[in-house]
Amino acid sequence: MPNAHLITFANEKGGSGKSTTSVHVAVALATAGRRVAAIDLDTRQRTLARYLENRLATAQRTGEALATPSFETFDPARGHLLDDLIEGFAADHEVIVIDTPGRDDEHARAAIVRADTLVTPINDSFVDLDLIGQVDPETFKIRRPSFYSELVWEARKARGRIDGGTVDWVLLRNRLQHLEARNMRRVADAMQELSKRVGFRVIPGLSERVIYRELFPKGLTLLDLKAIGSEAGIGHVAARQELREMVAGLALSQWPQHQAAPSQAAAG
Ligand SMILES: Nc1ncnc2c1ncn2[C@@H]1O[C@H](COP(=O)(O)OP(=O)(O)OP(=O)(O)O)[C@@H](O)[C@H]1O
Ligand SMILES: [Mg+2]
């Protein structure tokens, strides 16, 4: 039975960075020589698929060899079944990256149940954290996990029933700013506190950089040094480093497919 490591990017909060981080992770792994496939579950926006289409067009236009994941947009209207798409890619890929829409969606839920690694990008804001856990207005301590933690908890239980596997849940802090603001410190502290109760890991993601918004039309990432050419500056060296650290933080090599991750604490 073919097996690939499945990484699902999901957060019902729109605009939290699912597509941006999923593309960067998929391309970084492909650039590192891994056989990567990507599935875009956002049939309407298709940000991940459009990004990779732009990338293929750039490769063709410039003649640059740009490592590009195989990809498909999931479309139930075309008769797609998610399990079939996953199985099809798993036959000849080592990693499958799934990007999901920023809303509750039955297929996104199924992709969470199937995930070996679930990545939830989140901005350092109590508004974003509110989906994961509610914070006391006076003390900023966690009062209780929220509906999204419960949704993931249910998905993890379903996964256990299906094949005894576990979902390694990673909260990825996106759009990090390097100013030490008091509010961000409080959010980070609340996230750490919640991580123990709900059973997720917190890893640093990408910092807030204009370049992440500008690379889309060419389908490039900061790892595409030559193609970016003279535009690469000092800041981009640091940005490439944070991209590598983000991928390292996912700790994919530590999770051979469908093996037990450390035990997960109950949500609630
Ligand atoms: N690290 C970053 N620095 C600067 N801009 C960013 C960063 N991450 C994401 N963005 C920008 O934020 C916006 C939302 O990001 P993205 O589309 O990746 O989020 P999403 O979670 O996929 O959204 P949706 O829920 O609509 O699918 C985009 O304009 C993107 O370019
Ligand atoms: Mg998106």
209 CB within 6 A, ligand 1? yes
46 CB within 6 A, ligand 1? no
Please report the pLDDT score of residue 176 as a whole number: 87
Q: Is 31 helix (H, G, I), strand (E, B) or coil?
A: helix
Q: Which amino acid is at 3?
A: N
Q: Which string of DSSP letters, residue by residue, matches 15-80?
A: TSSHHHHHHHHHHHHHHTT--EEEEE--TTT-HHHHHHHHHHHHHHHH-------EEEE--GGGT-
62 lies in some domain? yes
Ligand nearest to the CA of 17: 1
> Predicted confidence band at 261 (pLDDT cuts at 50, 70, 90)?
very low
CA dist 216 and 211 (Å) reads: 9
Q: Which amino acid is at 179?
A: L
Domain count, the chain: 1
187 lies in some domain? yes
> Predicted confidence band at 268 (pLDDT cuts at 50, 70, 90)?
very low
Please report the pLDDT score of residue 265 as a whole number: 41
pLDDT single digits (tens) 171-230: 999 998 876 677 778 888 899 999 999 999 999 999 999 888 889 999 999 888 766 665
> Predicted confidence band at 101 (pLDDT cuts at 50, 70, 90)?
very high
Is residue 117 a contact partner of residue 155, using CB atoms and an 8 Å limit?
no
Range of the domain at 225: 5-252
221 CB within 6 A, ligand 1? no
Expressed in angstroms and rounded, the spacing between residue 252 Cα and the centre of ligand 2 is 22
> Predicted confidence band at 23 (pLDDT cuts at 50, 70, 90)?
very high
91 lies in some domain? yes
114 CB within 6 A, ligand 1? no
Is residue 268 a contact partner of residue 145, using CB atoms and an 8 Å limit?
yes
pLDDT single digits (tens) 133-165: 998 888 888 899 999 999 999 999 999 999 999
Please report the pLDDT score of residue 180 as a whole number: 66
212 CB within 6 A, ligand 1? yes
Please report the pLDDT score of residue 2 as a whole number: 59
Residue 265 CB-half CA count within 13 A = 12
Phi-psi domain of 137 (left: phi exceeds 0; alpha: psi -120 through 50; beta: other): alpha
Our mutation pick for probing the ligand 1 site, out of 8, 20, 74, 206, counting the most ligand atoms within 8 A of Cβ, is 20
pLDDT single digits (tens) 53-62: 999 999 999 9
Residue 66 has pLDDT above 90, yes or no: yes
CATH of the domain at 161: 3.40.50.300
Q: Which residues pair with 5 in a beta bridge?
A: 95
268 lies in some domain? no
Query: Of 63-72, 161-170, 226-235, which gets the smallest average pLDDT?
Result: 226-235
Give the nearest ligand 1 atom to 42 CA.
Answer: 27
CA dist 263 and 268 (Å) reads: 15
64 lies in some domain? yes
Residue 233 has pLDDT above 90, yes or no: no
Ligand nearest to the CA of 47: 2
CA dist 130 and 139 (Å) reads: 15
CA dist 108 and 12 (Å) reads: 9
Residue 1 has pLDDT above 60, yes or no: no
Is residue 114 a contact partner of residue 127, using CB atoms and an 8 Å limit?
no
CA dist 148 and 129 (Å) reads: 10
Residue 46 has pLDDT above 80, yes or no: yes
Q: Which residues contact 235 (CB under 8 A, 6 or more apart)?
A: 209, 211
Give the nearest ligand 1 atom to 208 CA.
Answer: 3
Instruction: Identify which of 214, 216, 187, 215 has the alpha carbon closest to the alpha carbon of residue 202.
Output: 187
**Percentage, residues of the chain above pLDDT 90:** 72
